[in-house]
A and B are shown apart, each in its own frame.
Chain A
């Protein structure tokens, strides 16, 4: 299930257990790897990392702010930080004590607060030498502030290096990046579409997004061709980004896109950047999902590749009655985990089966090791021939060597078992499979079941949020409903305890947006449910999935994917026809925006302004995979922040209340 258009240069410092395909045709390193390499270089005092077998450890202290923390945490574990020599990692705004004689590396955003805090650190003489790394470019004014503070507190010599890192984005997977996590409200869908948003605020948000996109392309070292729709936030972002890139390319002295890009980069064609606005497709954000990663995000709130699960274990209290004790456990899910890497896009039943298989494989290996122990015990008494001894020795050696791997495998299997069990519980209680089926039918324009009203009225099925989501999707993509019908549904929803302000907002949105063609955009898909899980139950699996339908999802393209497909292949759909075209490398700002490209694109960046989620990401990944046989494509997905459906619903609710 590997993404075959993918090139994976195996980073020597990061051990990869995943399968790596090697198509040495396109760019050698992924965005994530480049970001990790940049971080490591920064932690090595901005000197390139040599490959000496054992280097003298140089210890240092890392100070970050919230943004820095979000950037570093999916990429480097605490152990890796320690191996790089980082003894302490602290937040900028926490109380920090003087630690003498140690160099400190700052990784912060160049905001006023941070600069003031750094100047206070100079005043308190906290550390020996300072290496300042700013996540995005620092302005002249703030540089002067730091200079004057360092003169005032007489530590000019101690400020060893100042760097602009241009790493203002969070890369979660090799082809998925977002812009913000801890400060996401600033650039959320709500912030962009509020009724009372001021122009200055809009400008500020746009600048933030443009700055981050700029860092993405600086890190990769390419100048893309930009296309965006007209008349929405994405267009503004596109214009600003185009201007910024053009200025930088023109400036021959400090251009960041010089020809000395990473060696081994053979891409002759520039990638395409497609800027989309969230208003294109609200239904996908509320959709119930069925693939592993998207389900984890929706149900268990996957944040920065980490899940938290409440496990209840039964504890015997002194009185004798078992008391369930809830414990929160958090798991890391990243690409080093081979199982996760392969299974993250597959539908949930497949995942359950795969976990079962892994468990069986692990048990057989464990038994082999145990039998070895028995064999050795027997052989020890016997004065056996040499050949038998040598066999056992070899077996013993291999067993001992494989023990750590076995233990690691066991831990991963346990983790996935727990996560899958938690997901299964939620699916069963909220009847998410029925919702999924219903929504798929709605989105693919097949016959609307009469079960919509039943589902809403049914107190057993799902939380109020689920019901609102279902109805909103029906409103957006279903057949046209009269006002009376809608009111009827609203009454039913209110009885079920739901907040219907999102519905009000969506009604108004639908009226504004001239989305006449909206329903057809979801076409081409469908599902086939194959009833009960007879075969799975007969396998004696741990996951008793009776009552959960085995839904086989047929592939269909979400609106975003369709647009990307049209733009990459240079097809001409009517809605894509008048997309604006920007090429920052052209000499003159070509306002005629006539596409000048003749050949289809092989690489594309899709960026959604206003929030995105794993469903869209998975859809794009599947699309790329399906196209890999005819014309290999590589697609990156980015969004301003990853929102799951409940968060998005809340934002819609706020918007609805303001109407």
Chain B
């Protein structure tokens, strides 16, 4: 358990001060004013603190509006959602612009700090400070993207549930939560409920088309014989089952597609991380090939010069031999 001796220290400071006064020391301690002079904050520090406070504001903003944004009521909550989709879009845009601005300012800080001539320790410190800021920003971005992913997923789910695409004329009823509303649309028609993403749930009831105007193929005056009725009923049942299973599969596909999207995001992240390394490797490889080409040239020249040198040596030796012969003949 750590013991806080700060108070003891302060008391000691007071006693030492009074002791100094008593012994009449010239107050170099008088330099410190009673208020304690504030030191001027350096440039880098203020800018860094600004960026961090911006990011913190963004985080608070996202967290306070999170509940309404996500709107974790059921799909069919009859109460109006507290946030219209326009507001949601605006939140998205604002958040994105703030994130972009913060990233730019971090980049500017990085450039600045690398250009300034300072002590190596200070430089290292600043680099790590910038790194920590980047990490913080990444964490906040994650919050933001999670929120957005939830919203997109809910929109997709909602679209999925509310869209009906019956294949045949006698489309069966989908026995979902919408059964109460859709009882009106028992018979045919491509009842396409095209909900825009701005669909508030009360709109759902409005968008449900009025009872079908175009009647089915058989006139209501026709009598339906019992056998036909049974056949129709069986057909209905079969179609209904088929629709159910297809809808089920479609829902599964939706889920899987979202998972794939998530995976894509992870891959994209990893690829981006590797991008820098790959660029570096590519440039190094290019440099290497050039070096090798130059080296080959040099080697070729060297071989050629060696050959020439050999010729000269041979020539010289032959001349020496001839001169010897000549001298020999001359003397003798």
CB of B107 to closest CB in A, whole Å: 18
Contact call A151/B1, Cβ cutoff below 8 A: no
Residues of chain B within 8 A (CB-CB) of A61 are 125
* Chain A, 161-208, CB within 8 A of any chain B CB: 161-166
Contact call A159/B140, Cβ cutoff below 8 A: no
CB contact under 8 A between A57 and B136, given known A162-B5, A162-B9, A163-B3: yes
User: Does A397 sit at the interface, judged by CB under 8 A?
Assistant: yes
CB contact under 8 A between A54 and B139, given known A133-B2, A390-B252: yes
* Chain A, 77-122, CB within 8 A of any chain B CB: 82, 85, 87-88, 90, 96-102
Bound complex: CA A425 to CA B172 (Å): 77
Residues of chain A within 8 A (CB-CB) of B121 are 88, 90, 96-97, 99
Q: Which among A138-146, A353-361, A506-514, A595-603 touches the partner chain? A: A138-146
User: Does B256 sit at the interface, judged by CB under 8 A?
Assistant: yes
Contact call B3/A166, Cβ cutoff below 8 A: yes
Taken residue by residue from 603 to 625, chain A's Cβ proximity to chain B (1 for < 8 Å, 0 otherwise) reads as 00000000000000000000000
Residues of chain B within 8 A (CB-CB) of A100 are 41-42, 45, 122
User: Does B266 sit at the interface, judged by CB under 8 A?
Assistant: yes
CB of A96 to closest CB in B, whole Å: 7
Contact call B28/A143, Cβ cutoff below 8 A: no
Contact call B4/A82, Cβ cutoff below 8 A: no
CB contact under 8 A between A88 and B128, given known A57-B52, A99-B122: yes
Residues of chain A within 8 A (CB-CB) of B41 are 100-101
Residues of chain B within 8 A (CB-CB) of A56 are 52, 55-56, 136
Taken residue by residue from 242 to 281, chain A's Cβ proximity to chain B (1 for < 8 Å, 0 otherwise) reads as 0000000000001010000000000000000000000000
CB contact under 8 A between A386 and B143, given known A163-B4, A221-B1: no
Q: Which among A59, A163, A394 is the interface contact of B132 at CB below 8 angstroms?
A: A59
Contact call A163/B31, Cβ cutoff below 8 A: no
Residues of chain A within 8 A (CB-CB) of B263 are 393, 396-397, 400
* Chain A, 371-427, CB within 8 A of any chain B CB: 386, 389-390, 393-394, 396-397, 400
Q: Which among A148, A151, A164 is the interface contact of B2 at CB below 8 angstroms?
A: A164
User: Does B106 sit at the interface, judged by CB under 8 A?
Assistant: no
Residues of chain B within 8 A (CB-CB) of A97 are 119-122
Contact call A256/B1, Cβ cutoff below 8 A: yes
User: Does B319 sit at the interface, judged by CB under 8 A?
Assistant: no
User: Does A561 sit at the interface, judged by CB under 8 A?
Assistant: no
User: Does B29 sit at the interface, judged by CB under 8 A?
Assistant: yes
User: Does A330 sit at the interface, judged by CB under 8 A?
Assistant: no
Contact call B2/A165, Cβ cutoff below 8 A: yes
User: Does B260 sit at the interface, judged by CB under 8 A?
Assistant: yes
CB contact under 8 A between A88 and B124, given known A54-B136, A54-B139, A54-B143: yes
* Chain B, 1-25, CB within 8 A of any chain A CB: 1-6, 8-9, 12-13, 16-17, 20
By secondary structure, the A interface counts as mixed
Q: Which chain B residue shows the least CB distance to A146?
A: B9
Please count the residue pairs between chain A and chain B whose beta carbons lie under 8 angstroms apart in the complex.
142
Residues of chain A within 8 A (CB-CB) of B252 are 386, 390
Contact call B5/A164, Cβ cutoff below 8 A: yes
* Chain B, 30-59, CB within 8 A of any chain A CB: 31-32, 36, 39, 41-42, 44-45, 52, 55-56, 59
CB contact under 8 A between A159 and B132, given known A144-B16, A396-B263: no
Q: Which chain A residue shows the least CB distance to B4?
A: A163
Residues of chain B within 8 A (CB-CB) of A393 are 256, 259-260, 263
Q: Which chain B residue shows the least CB distance to A100?
A: B42
Residues of chain A within 8 A (CB-CB) of B192 are none
Q: Which among B17, B139, B249, B256 is the interface contact of A151 at CB below 8 angstroms?
A: B17
Contact call B29/A151, Cβ cutoff below 8 A: yes
Q: Which among A4-12, A38-46, A565-573 touches the partner chain? A: A38-46
CB contact under 8 A between A42 and B128, given known A98-B119, A147-B16, A156-B13: no
* Chain B, 80-139, CB within 8 A of any chain A CB: 119-122, 124-125, 128-129, 131-133, 135-136, 139
Contact call B9/A219, Cβ cutoff below 8 A: no
Residues of chain A within 8 A (CB-CB) of B324 are none
Bound complex: CA A99 to CA B41 (Å): 11
Bound complex: CA A82 to CA B3 (Å): 26
Bound complex: CA A146 to CA B13 (Å): 9
Residues of chain A within 8 A (CB-CB) of B56 are 56
Residues of chain A within 8 A (CB-CB) of B29 are 151-152, 154
Residues of chain A within 8 A (CB-CB) of B136 are 54, 56-57
Contact call B9/A159, Cβ cutoff below 8 A: yes
Bound complex: CA A592 to CA B5 (Å): 38
Residues of chain A within 8 A (CB-CB) of B12 are 140, 143-144, 147
* Chain B, 294-325, CB within 8 A of any chain A CB: none
CB contact under 8 A between A46 and B16, given known A54-B140, A162-B9: no
Q: Kindly name the residue among A56, A88, A146 whose own CB sees the greatest number of chain B CB atoms within 10 A.
A: A56
Contact call A143/B5, Cβ cutoff below 8 A: yes
Residues of chain B within 8 A (CB-CB) of A42 are 2
Q: Which chain A residue shows the least CB distance to B17?
A: A151
Contact call B132/A85, Cβ cutoff below 8 A: yes
Bound complex: CA A143 to CA B1 (Å): 20
User: Does B181 sit at the interface, judged by CB under 8 A?
Assistant: no
User: Does A337 sit at the interface, judged by CB under 8 A?
Assistant: no
User: Does B178 sit at the interface, judged by CB under 8 A?
Assistant: no
Contact call A54/B125, Cβ cutoff below 8 A: no
Contact call A137/B3, Cβ cutoff below 8 A: yes
User: Does A128 sit at the interface, judged by CB under 8 A?
Assistant: yes
Residues of chain B within 8 A (CB-CB) of A54 are 59, 136, 139-140, 143
CB of A119 to closest CB in B, whole Å: 13
Q: Which among B17, B122, B128, B256 is the interface contact of A59 at CB below 8 angstroms?
A: B128
CB contact under 8 A between A166 and B253, given known A56-B56, A59-B128, A151-B16: no
Residues of chain A within 8 A (CB-CB) of B13 are 147, 150-151, 156
Residues of chain B within 8 A (CB-CB) of A88 are 121, 124-125, 128
Contact call A161/B42, Cβ cutoff below 8 A: no
Bound complex: CA A36 to CA B4 (Å): 18
Contact call A161/B6, Cβ cutoff below 8 A: yes
Q: Kindly name the residue among B3, B6, B17, B55 whose own CB sees the greatest number of chain A CB atoms within 10 A.
A: B3
User: Does A218 sit at the interface, judged by CB under 8 A?
Assistant: yes
Bound complex: CA A256 to CA B2 (Å): 9
User: Which residues on A are within 8 Å of B, measured CB to CB?
Assistant: 38, 41-42, 46, 54, 56-57, 59, 61, 82, 85, 87-88, 90, 96-102, 128, 133, 137-138, 140, 143-144, 146-148, 150-152, 154, 156-157, 159-166, 218-219, 221, 254, 256, 386, 389-390, 393-394, 396-397, 400
Show 10 A/B contacts (Cβ-Cβ < 8 Å), sorted by A.
A54-B59, A57-B136, A59-B132, A61-B125, A97-B120, A143-B8, A147-B16, A163-B6, A390-B252, A393-B260
The 8 A-B residue pairs with the shortest CB-CB distance, nearest first, are: A157-B36, A97-B119, A101-B45, A87-B128, A154-B32, A164-B3, A147-B12, A54-B139
